[in-house]
Amino acid sequence: MRVAVSGSHGLIGSAVVPALESAGHQVLRLVRAEPGPGEIRWDPAAGLIDRSGLEGVDGAVHLAGAGIGDRRWTATRKREILESRSGGTELLSRALADLTPRPAVLVSGSAIGYYGERGDEELTEQSSAGEGFLAEVVKAWEAATAPAENAGIRVVHIRTGIVLSAGGGVLTKQLPLFKRSLGGRLGSGRQWTSWIALHDQVAAIRHVLTHEGFEGPVNLTAPHPVTNADFTASLARVLGKAARLAVPRMALAAALGAEMARETALVSQRVLPVKLEASGFAFAHPVVDEALAAALGKECC
């Protein structure tokens, strides 16, 4: 396949591109800078995209968007998070819909933030949307693919959990403290954490890209979510360190802001990858201990 990829320099995109290329696909990167060979110029904020560069693509993997947890949520940052997803997605969707012939598939980034705070409830792709800022962002993000869907392009919304990698994301923010035995559970630790190993995230993206049976939301999470307390214990065990501390809710609210703390560090989402498992997809790292050990280059405990 000839596949256009946005967000190709991010944590997931930088792993997706070589994986697609090693599988024999031709990758065209969507970039904001002056494009070089194998690159297509776009500027989502300005509403600009080189449609001619997209001609002949068979599919697209859209992973671009401002980081959710990169900095504190001010009104300006929240607007940037929303617009970078809904605006960029609509721009790419319209461009793909205008092509002749049209590509067969668009795999568009999404997140389990769609489900909001859900306590111990088991969540599948059939579960309803939740409430809160991130739920509203994800609803707008997914709705922005409408031009592609209306044009008959198969659209898959990959609702991704916490991606475990030593190369970026949540795990790299935790490691410095855990390596000094200063890690601990967040709040009560009873909130559910739905995660996925980077290796499985990339494999799942390839899987939904090339299998025509996938359409609509697909949960990209490992089959065994854990509580924050269990995740904390697992990370400490893999590192051979103690993790007896706890970060109080008030401290998290002071550090992140009450809304951001509530919807990221303290949110409980017990998400199951029903569609992936039903298709026969095999997770390389279905259990959190092995996933963390693989990410950190350690022997599994």
**DSSP calls for 97-119:** HTSSSPPSEEEEEEEGGGG---T
Q: What is the CATH number of the domain that holds 264?
A: 3.40.50.720
Number of domains in the chain: 1
Range of the domain at 65: 2-296
**Could you give the 3-state DSSP secondary structure of residue 218?**
strand
CB 25 within 8 A of CB 5: no
For residue 282, tell me if it sits in a domain.
yes
For residue 301, tell me if it sits in a domain.
no
For residue 83, tell me if it sits in a domain.
yes
* Look-up of token digits 């319209």: 94
Band of pLDDT at residue 136, cut at 50, 70 and 90 = very high
Mean pLDDT (whole number) for 150-165: 98
**Could you give the 3-state DSSP secondary structure of residue 262?**
helix
CB 53 within 8 A of CB 249: no
Which tokens in the block code for residue 22? Answer: 């090693």
Q: Which of 92, 158, 159, 104 is nearest to 130 (CA)?
A: 159
For residue 165, tell me if it sits in a domain.
yes
Band of pLDDT at residue 148, cut at 50, 70 and 90 = very high
Which tokens in the block code for residue 123? Answer: 């969540």
DSSP state of 46: G
For residue 18, tell me if it sits in a domain.
yes
For residue 268, tell me if it sits in a domain.
yes
Calculate the average pLDDT of the chain. Answer: 96
Q: What is the pLDDT of residues 181-230, one digit of tens each?
A: 999 999 999 999 999 999 999 999 999 999 999 999 999 999 999 999 99
CB 215 within 8 A of CB 207: no
Helices (H), the chain: 13-22, 51-54, 75-97, 133-143, 146-150, 170-179, 198-210, 228-239, 249-256, 258-260, 274-278, 288-296
For residue 148, tell me if it sits in a domain.
yes
Please give the pLDDT value at position 301.
58
Please give the pLDDT value at position 27.
98
Residue 267 has pLDDT above 90, yes or no: yes
Please give the pLDDT value at position 172.
93
